[in-house]
Structure 1
Amino acid sequence: MTFTQKLTFADYLALEDTGIEGRAELIEGELIALPPESRINTEIATFVFSSLLAIAIPHYLLKLYSCEVQTPVLEPRDAANRYPDLVLIREEHRALCDRRMTITLEMPPPLWVMEVVSPGKTNRDRDYIRKRAQYAAVGIPEYVIVDPEEQAVLVLRLEQGEYIEAGRYTGECPLQSPTFPALNLTAAQVLSAGQ
């Protein structure tokens, strides 16, 4: 399907069929298809998903590659929507997202998001800089960046509209998540899930 005019986010939400198989980001009014996730990223995200289920986080509140978050466009070429690798939604999102698993700017933000960084400068900048700024602007309380290349897990906590580093974890260091204090994982366990 070809669109002759630039789409607004409302236009995008109203589409029955985007003409794109899979997920797409809305960038400057155009839908850009997202490539499939890598094996490493998928295995890490699935491992963390399973670990959260093991500490009794309800499965229906965890969204693995299936929750779209509307984000403000803060700079040119920012996407107006993001698909975090793993999201913890709020109970009220279940009713708000009956038709479509999209959390808009008018809704309360998700409680927690995680991204696994793909190789390359563009991907690093997107996860460490662009998504960080956009997720902070949305008001997501905790943002976790898993970086297989750096062999590190970065936990960011929102304070006064900006993310501050709650911890950078490597090796056998136990992760400390403000959202999931019962989570008993080390950085090495998370990172080795993709090897």
Structure 2
Amino acid sequence: MTFTQKLTFADYLALEDSRQEEKLELINGELIALPPEAWLNNDIAMFVFLQLVAIGVPFQRVKVNSCELQTPVLEVGDAANRYPDLVVVEPVHRAHPSQRMTITLEMPPPLWVMEVVSPGKTNRDRDYIRKRAQYAAVGIPEYVIVDPEEQAVLVLRLEQGEYIEAGRYTGERPLQSPTFPALNLTAAQVLSAGQDG
């Protein structure tokens, strides 16, 4: 769905709820409908969701494919909003549980985000370059990229406004999350979560 009227982010937030049933990205003032989530991406996100809850993160703070983040437009073509595959929010974000699940730039950043890379150069560039820059600008302390094609998990830690690599994990090497050190997972476990059970 594309609209001809150029919208600001405030205009977008003011849209009626009927238009918010689908995921929309605001790009260059236009609303662009996102395709449905891939089974693989959703399965991996749900698996990590369960692992985070198992180590004591309240399930209400872990959102799979549903929490929207306002992001700064750093380059032409950047979306002004993103829907991470998995996001861990702070209690302040849930201060009003009935409000829309959108974290704006005026709010503190979420604690942690994870993206599962979909096939194709455009998707790779979006997750590795554009979202990386936008999430760093928002101030999200940890960004995890799960890459099924490369069979790797990249953990990025925010330092002085930029992400540095905290670790790149493959196979049976245990992941080390600066934010969740109790998260006892290997890259193989995360990557195999999307396989048929």
Q: Give the TM-score, by structure 2 length.
A: 0.95
Residue aligned with 1:163, SS: strand
In structure 1, the residue matched to 2:10 is 10
127-136 or 14-23: bigger deviation: 14-23
Distance in 1, Cα, partners of 2:170 & 2:113: 19
In structure 1, the residue matched to 2:136 is 136
CA RMSD of aligned residues (A): 1.4
In structure 1, the residue matched to 2:151 is 151
How many Å apart are 1:97 and its aligned residue?
Answer: 6.1
Alignment of 1:5-154 (within 5 A): 5-17=5-17, 19=19, 21-95=21-95, 98-154=98-154
With over 3 angstroms needed to count, the CA separation of the structure-2 counterparts of 1:171 and 1:2, relative to structure 1, is: closer
How many Å apart are 1:17 and its aligned residue?
Answer: 4.0
Residue aligned with 1:69, SS: strand
Residue aligned with 2:118, SS: coil
Residues 47 and 190 in structure 2, CA contact (< 8 A), matched pair in contact too: yes
How many Å apart are 1:56 and its aligned residue?
Answer: 1.1
With over 3 angstroms needed to count, the CA separation of the structure-2 counterparts of 1:164 and 1:142, relative to structure 1, is: same
Distance in 2, Cα, partners of 1:9 & 1:97: 21
The one-letter code sitting in structure 2 at the alignment partner of 1:160 is: Q
How many Å apart are 1:99 and its aligned residue?
Answer: 1.5
The one-letter code sitting in structure 2 at the alignment partner of 1:81 is: N
Residue aligned with 1:113, SS: strand
Identity across aligned pairs (percent)?
81
Alignment of 1:143-182 (within 5 A): 143-182=143-182
Gaps of 5+ in 2: none
With over 3 angstroms needed to count, the CA separation of the structure-2 counterparts of 1:80 and 1:96, relative to structure 1, is: farther
1:188 maps to 2:188 = yes
Distance in 1, Cα, partners of 2:23 & 2:2: 16
Q: Deviations over 1:94-139 (max 9, x none)?
A: 0156411000000000000000000000000000000000000000
Q: Deviations over 1:10-46 (max 9, x none)?
A: 0000111464752010000111000111111111111
With over 3 angstroms needed to count, the CA separation of the structure-2 counterparts of 1:12 and 1:179, relative to structure 1, is: same
The one-letter code sitting in structure 2 at the alignment partner of 1:177 is: S
How many Å apart are 1:3 and its aligned residue?
Answer: 4.2
Residue aligned with 2:66, SS: coil
Equivalenced residues, count: 195
Q: Deviations over 1:74-108 (max 9, x none)?
A: 00000000000000000111015641100000000
Gaps of 5+ in 1: none
Residues 20 and 33 in structure 1, CA contact (< 8 A), matched pair in contact too: no
How many Å apart are 1:61 and its aligned residue?
Answer: 0.6
Distance in 1, Cα, partners of 2:120 & 2:104: 29
